[in-house]
Chain A
């Protein structure tokens, strides 16, 4: 049967919605980022690179850039470390494994904004559970004003996101572990291989697919973080936890549309630069299938 005969128009609904509501705004955005579009002004005029000149002159962009990258790197690393650790623990013949799996995955189905509000209470300097719990185990002196101390604010946001997404990584790893034949690790164990060596040389290589997926999803997802930061610190104190989307939101609410579009475009470039290797990996995985 000839391939050509499959009707092209089947792809039109998806393609037109995608082109109109995703690609078009992206392209229009390129134009507007070179204008002085502002809600308080009647006309929009072309101003060349002025937005970008102003933007790169602001230390705030540097903060947004470094915080977004730190957040993405930390979440990717920790989500995978915690997720893998939990999966390995759960893979030991533990009772009620399914119950624990359900519990660990639970935060993932709750809206991030709700989790943000809950953690605002949890991090409360006087009555929050974190400081209370530190007090119970005699480490009360380690208590902090987690969200208002510039030293701890970003860390606290990262920890919250780990709480939210670690269970997701765990489930993906747990699924990968099911495919590793038991006799493989058992025979290695009989041959005297230590736990670490078995993990390093047998288990981990066989988890490569799960690892790729988890890393890809964390990297891409965490660079687009928004409501979690907005609710917990709104980029503060000062700009110490500013990320791209909170920066965009604050210039947007001041009516500086052209300027905020320029920030969005910088994020676009950043995600693309980091995302291209990711894209390659996705394509490669597909070839292997």
Chain B
């Protein structure tokens, strides 16, 4: 009863859709090897002569490694802070379940929706004498991403039976050991999800470093792109080369871990 042409038709639409996603990536790649005039035409054809100078120029002037290092450092430390703080909090929020913990939970949930007040945040960082430091940016991201992590972890804590706690506590296990040795290992799958979401959000974020990082030596790679494009916006070939260098490692990681990354980023929402 299935129409014979139907499957072909469905495949054709999906294929066309995939093309719409892939063509821009191809355009960046092929034009990154073209000279200044040819790349400005954004043509789909291969370069008339392969030009690797763009890449050399980017490596010489773009401070690529510094940008990657900063992005990696910052997102890594935010992962540590968020997973640790959120799991500790979720543990007692769900287990105590008293009035104070319920209001705390509600406050975090509120943080899921409301936007940050960025200008007062800059001021606060100044008052605390940490403005422009790695620490300030890490704390900013931790505060912004904690609500989501707490929400996810509290939901998951419900599935860990209390009997487990009771048995451990009867054996004379302290609360810290209970958290560290029993609860935390059981949360590993959710913590991987949290890690992926935090990594992707921090790595790709522009808003935070744009407002909070004034010192160019501490810029993340995303801020580096912004600055680079403002300087070289007349030479698309170089801009595209910069983009390839920035996108390539992310896509590589994505393609290697795509199952975990896709599941992680969406499970963060579905399992909630």
Contact = CB atoms under 8 A, between A and B. Distances in A.
Interface of A: 1, 3-8, 10-11, 13-15, 17-18, 20-26, 28-29, 32, 86, 89-90, 92-95, 100-114, 117-119, 121-122, 124, 127-129, 163, 167-168, 171-172, 175-176, 189, 209-210, 213-214, 217, 220, 223-224, 226-227, 245, 248, 252, 257, 260-261, 264-265, 267-268, 271-272, 275, 278-279, 282-283, 285-286, 289
> SS class of chain B's interface: helix, strand, loop or mixed?
helix
A18 B96 contact: no
30 contacts: A1-B162, A4-B96, A8-B92, A10-B88, A13-B88, A13-B89, A14-B108, A17-B142, A18-B143, A22-B144, A29-B117, A29-B120, A89-B10, A100-B14, A109-B200, A110-B251, A114-B247, A121-B236, A122-B27, A127-B41, A127-B42, A129-B24, A171-B262, A214-B269, A248-B119, A261-B119, A264-B117, A264-B119, A271-B113, A272-B114
A113 B207 CA distance: 10
Contacts of B109: 279, 282-283
Given A111-B206, A119-B24, A127-B40, 8 more contacts: A8-B96, A14-B146, A106-B251, A111-B205, A122-B42, A167-B21, A171-B262, A171-B266
A92 B10 contact: yes
Contacts, number: 261
Interface string B45-84: 0000000000000000000000000000000000001001
B88 A14 contact: yes
A191 B100 CA distance: 55
Contacts of A282: 109, 112, 272
Contacts of A92: 6-7, 10
Nearest to B246: A114
A89 B42 contact: no
A220 B10 contact: no
